């Protein structure tokens, strides 16, 4: 069963090179333009591009998300689809090293079915303590 939901809120309909903006948009519940502006501002302040993990990750960090490593017990057999299945509740931003996607309540929100990609880390907004 696919846990993928087609999602592309890029105003021009493009779906290459802006995965971090789309992921921020879903994770933060904001439109594409606002997500782009947040990443662009951080990129400017950090002297880096918006697609850099450190740049879009800083936007998540500023919004209460924390980064976690994926356990290395079976690095080639654990997929984003598996991650989505194991996380049926909450909002997670999952990175592969070359792609980033949001998993929201067990559903992968992306412009293509990335469920077979291998995740390396994820961001999650922890509950307030």
pLDDT in tens, 34-51: 999 999 999 999 999 999
Supply 46's token pair: 């950090």
pLDDT in tens, 79-94: 999 999 999 999 999 9
Q: Please, what is the Cα angle at 56 between 55 and 58, to 5 degrees?
A: 65
**Using CB atoms within 10 A of its CB, is residue 51 exposed (0-12), middle (13-18) or buried (19+)?**
middle
CB 27 within 8 A of CB 93: yes
User: What residue segments make up the domains of the chain, in order of their start?
Assistant: 4-125
């Amino acid at each position: 069963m696919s846990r993928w939901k087609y999602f592309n809120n890029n105003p021009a309909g493009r779906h290459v090179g802006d995965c971090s903006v789309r992921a921020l948009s879903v994770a933060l519940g904001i439109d594409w333009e606002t997500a782009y502006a947040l990443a662009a501002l951080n990129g400017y302040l950090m002297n880096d591009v918006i697609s850099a993990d450190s740049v879009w990750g800083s936007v998540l960090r500023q919004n209460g998300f924390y980064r976690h490593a994926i356990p290395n017990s079976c690095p080639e057999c654990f997929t984003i689809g598996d991650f989505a299945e194991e996380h049926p509740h909450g909002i997670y931003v999952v990175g592969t090293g070359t792609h980033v996607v949001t998993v929201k309540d067990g559903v992968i929100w992306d412009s293509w079915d990335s469920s077979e990609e291998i995740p390396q880390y994820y961001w999650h907004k922890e509950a307030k303590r």
